[in-house]
Chain A
Amino acid sequence: MSKMSLSTRMIFVLTLITVLSGGILAGWDMVTQPKIEFHRQEALKAAIGDVLPAHDSYQTQKTEFGSIYIGRRDSISDPVGIAFMAVGSGFQGELRIMVGLTPDMTQLTGIKVLEQIETPGLGTKIVVDPSNKQDPYWFPAQFKGLHISPEIVVIKNAKPTHNNEIQGITGATISSKAVTRLLNEQITDIKTAWTALGGTE
């Protein structure tokens, strides 16, 4: 050890540290990776369960616009709904929203915001609104049964009158619009992909 020149010793020590570090991390990854993947799958399953109507199973289909999840019931052959993950920018950062659609792609069956970093207390109402004690999930609930044609429209400071309109969040217009913009843009893509797969089956 002491016979080595300083530069050899520096190289030797740093190499040893990084090799050990790599070994520890590779081992730890083998332990934790299956569990992390399991939680990811559980979260996906729960989100699909939240946005699609009652279904017994879902099938993952890869398309050029990302994966779509086709919900089915054992008793009937037609799918009960199509879900996909809409990803795009919100007010401050990325939004990840699980979106459920009817198989004919005319209505939403539900949405669930899985990841967001909107302003706490304002933009976060796209997930839950603790200030509304009667109905904390009023904002996402509006998307259930919402018509998507010609497009989803945000109404400010008034009750929606058409079946393609939702009420925006006071103080978080950008967050409300980010959600609908994301849906409008990406539903179009998913429609294309779904038609390419054989349409309404």
Chain B
Amino acid sequence: MSSSLSLKAEFIKGLWKENPVMASLLGLCPTLAVTNASMNGLAMGLATTFVLLSSSLMISALRNFIPHQVRIAGYIVIIATFVTVADRFLAAYFPAISATLGPYIPLIVVNCIILGRQEAFSSRNGIGRSLLDSLGMGVGFIMVLVVLGSIRELLGSGSIFGFAILGDWFTPWMVMILPPGAFLTLGILIALANWYNDPSRSKARKVVS
């Protein structure tokens, strides 16, 4: 049941082809909830990636040791431990980010990307391969959150990463920093990705070229 991809492909697949948000539609709660600004998206992406990597390391190392019947309980405890570590780390060293993200950092525990990767990958593959898989998924998640956060911040506040991009002439679209803005932007991004990936479209393109 272990993966047969090359190590490079193990990393790359998370970026686009099996991107946790764009392809698998996992982890939508934080994706929608915290991406009202680029910085929040980046912080959430990094925190999630940290939890993903550390949990993968532990779970792939312990994969032959944890009995199959209690694996989920074991995974959840391991994941929750690292989430708490990340939460306390942000509160201690980045209090501003911690205050902005509020309850969404503890909620990484229930992010299905993390449990999903452990169940589908780390529990069946070696440490090196599992770390590459998690890193790819993590980077893919960060990319989506930053892009989504930047689009919403640009249209909703006229800035990206806090730097004013659009001048005073621009009236911010309030809807973009509210929940509906998240649904609209994510919906459009996923529609574009699906259109790009559409096999019938690429077939047509090949015939033309």
Partner-B contacts on A (CB < 8 A)? 6, 9-10, 13-14, 17-18, 21, 24-25, 28-29, 31-33, 35-36, 39, 43, 119-121, 130, 133
A contacts with B: majority SS: helix
CA distance A35 to B74 in the complex (A): 30
CA distance A120 to B176 in the complex (A): 10
A18, A29, A121: the one within 8 Å of B174 (CB) = A121
Return 19 A-B CB contacts under 8 Å, by A number.
Answer: A9-B67, A10-B67, A13-B70, A13-B74, A17-B78, A21-B77, A21-B78, A24-B81, A32-B89, A32-B92, A35-B92, A36-B95, A39-B95, A119-B178, A120-B36, A120-B177, A120-B178, A130-B157, A133-B168
B contacts with A: majority SS: helix
B88 touches A32 (CB 8 A): yes
The interface residues of chain B lying within 8 Å CB-to-CB of A36 are 88, 91-92, 95
Encoded as 1 (CB less than 8 Å from any A CB) or 0, chain B from 63 to 83 comes to: 001110110011001101100
Nearest chain-B residue to A22 (Cβ)? Answer: B81
CA distance A139 to B157 in the complex (A): 20
The interface residues of chain B lying within 8 Å CB-to-CB of A130 are 157, 172
| Minimal beta-carbon separation of B109 from chain A (angstroms) | 12
| Minimal beta-carbon separation of B72 from chain A (angstroms) | 11
A14 touches B73 (CB 8 A): yes
Known contacts A25-B85, A36-B91; A13 and B36 CB within 8 A of each other: no
B77 touches A18 (CB 8 A): yes
CA distance A177 to B78 in the complex (A): 45
Nearest chain-B residue to A39 (Cβ)? Answer: B95
Nearest chain-A residue to B75 (Cβ)? Answer: A17
B65, B85, B168: the one within 8 Å of A13 (CB) = B65
Nearest chain-B residue to A38 (Cβ)? Answer: B92
Interface residues of B in 32-75 (CB under 8 A from A): 36, 62, 65-67, 69-70, 73-74
| Minimal beta-carbon separation of B83 from chain A (angstroms) | 11
A35 touches B93 (CB 8 A): yes
The interface residues of chain A lying within 8 Å CB-to-CB of B77 are 14, 17-18, 21
